Amino acid sequence: MADHHSGVTVQIRMALMQAYEKSADKTPTQHTMLAGPRGVSPAGRWAGRAGLPARRGAMRGGLGALPLVLALAGASSFVLLAVAMATDFWYIIDASRLEAAANGTAALSSHSGLWRTCRLRNKCYPLINPFWHGNANITASHRQLLYMHGTFVILMPLSLILMIFGGMTGFISILARAYLLLLMTGLLFLFGALVTLTGICVYIAYSAAAFEEAVCLLRSKDVLVEIDIRFGWSLALVWISFVAEVLTGAVFLLAARVVGLKRRREQAL
């Protein structure tokens, strides 16, 4: 009877040992199944199903193509405005028909910029300094023209300076992914665009007032029929620069929003 009990005990021990060995063999497989394919943790699989990155470092990813768009738009705006300010084709007076009637003896056609007026056949000469014109005896309308001239002469370089500061802060904000700096840069570019637009409007008003002054001096509109007066390609460059400046500011605000959303998701995790 004792032998029978001892035999049963041995069989139970052997069965337990076999069960333990089988469970030990299955343990790595179970761990591998829990870890998922290629060692992905359950938390990583859960994050993948939820549409969230598996690691916090992924939350600091790039801004995609936004930096490239910012660089192209900002550089284009700056270059176009600088070229427009340096050229003399803002306002064009084409009097070729009068010149033909006069057998080409007089150079009546001209084109002007912010700083000077040029004859098509002669040298350029500077405009009257709007900030200092001595004790010249000028009329009230002419004085108003000088004030308007001085206004857009200040506004256009100011917009250029704002773009320079915006470019520096924008470069730092893109590298640092700083929300407040991106937001400030976007607002700075939009303010610069507002300054540019104000300068354009003042220049157009200045040109209209100068035209009316010329008509009053001529006391006849018959001559104006033979003259073609129009805005030139320099002013068109300023308009394109204004659009690029607005686009740059808007993209900076978009980049700030993207960075802000990523920070909120990081804090939520």
**Residue 2: pLDDT band with limits 50, 70, 90:** very low
Query: How far apart (Å, rounded) are the C-alpha atoms in residues 112 and 203?
Result: 12
Tokens of 197: 């637009």
Q: 85 with 160: CB under 8 angstroms?
A: yes
- Between 215 and 188, whose confidence is greater? 188
Q: Which residues of 128-165 are buried (b: 16+ CB within 10 A; e: fewer)?
A: eebeeeeeeeeeeeeeebbebbbbbbebbbebbebbee
Query: Which has the higher per-residue pLDDT, 227 or 154?
Result: 154
Provide mean pLDDT across the span 27-42: 45
pLDDT of residue 164: 96
247 vs 126: which has the higher pLDDT = 247
C-alpha to C-alpha distance for 94 and 109, rounded to whole angstroms: 5
Q: CA 224 to CA 227: how far, in whole Å?
A: 5
Per-residue tokens: 190? 């939009």
Q: Is the pLDDT of residue 33 over 70?
A: no
What pLDDT score does 245 carry?
96
Structural domains of the chain sorted by starting position, each given as residue range(s) with its CATH number in brackets: 65-268 (1.20.140.150)
Residue 35: both structure tokens together = 């870890």
Q: What are phi and psi of 131, to 5 degrees?
A: -100, -20
Predicted local confidence at residue 22, as pLDDT: 54
Q: What percent of the chain has pLDDT over 70?
A: 69
CA separation (Å) from 71 to 76, 114, 203? 8, 28, 29
Is the pTM above the cut of 0.85? Answer: no
Over the stretch 181-207, which tens digit does the pLDDT of each residue have?
999 999 999 999 999 999 999 999 999
**Amino acid at the residue 193:** A
Dihedrals φ, ψ of 104, to 5°?
Answer: 70, 20
Rounded average pLDDT over 202-227: 81
pLDDT digits (tens, 9 = 90+) for 41-77: 444 444 444 444 434 443 344 677 888 999 999 999 9
Query: Cα–Cα distance between 104 and 93 in angstroms, integer?
Result: 16
Using DSSP bridges, classify how beta strands 228-231 and 124-126 pair: parallel, antiparallel or unpaired.
unpaired
- State residue 41's pLDDT score: 47
pLDDT-derived band at 105, boundaries 50, 70, 90: low
Whether 111 shows a pLDDT value over 60: the answer reads yes
* Averaged pLDDT, 240-266: 93
When the pLDDT of each residue in the chain is averaged and rounded to a whole number, the result is 78
